[in-house]
Amino acid sequence: METKFTNVLITGASSGIGEAMAVYYAAHGAKNLFICGRNKDRLENVRKQCEQLGAAVYASLIDVNDREKMRVWIVQCNKKAPLNLVLANAGVATTKEIDENIYNTFNTNIFGVLNTVLPAVSLFSRRRGQAPKAVAMLSSIAGYHGLAGCPSYSASKACVKAYGEALRVYLAPRGIQVSVICPGFVKSRITDKNTCPMPFFMEAEEAAEIIGRGLENNVGLIAFPWPMRFGVWLLSVLPSRLSAFICSKLPYKV
- Are 225 and 242 spatial neighbours (Cβ–Cβ below 8 Å)? no
Report the C-alpha gap between 235 and 247 in whole angstroms. Answer: 9
Report the C-alpha gap between 37 and 60 in whole angstroms. Answer: 7
H helices then E strands: how many in the chain? 9, 7
Catalytically annotated residue among 153, 163, 170, 252: 153
Kindly give, in sequence order, each residue whose CB lies less than 8 Å from that of residue 152, ignoring residues fewer than 6 positions away.
94, 97, 101, 102, 105, 106
Angle at 153 between CA 149 and CA 157, to 5 degrees: 130
Cα dist. 231→40, 203, 211, 219 in Å?
38, 21, 20, 20
Tell me if residue 153 is catalytic.
yes
What are the catalytic residues?
153
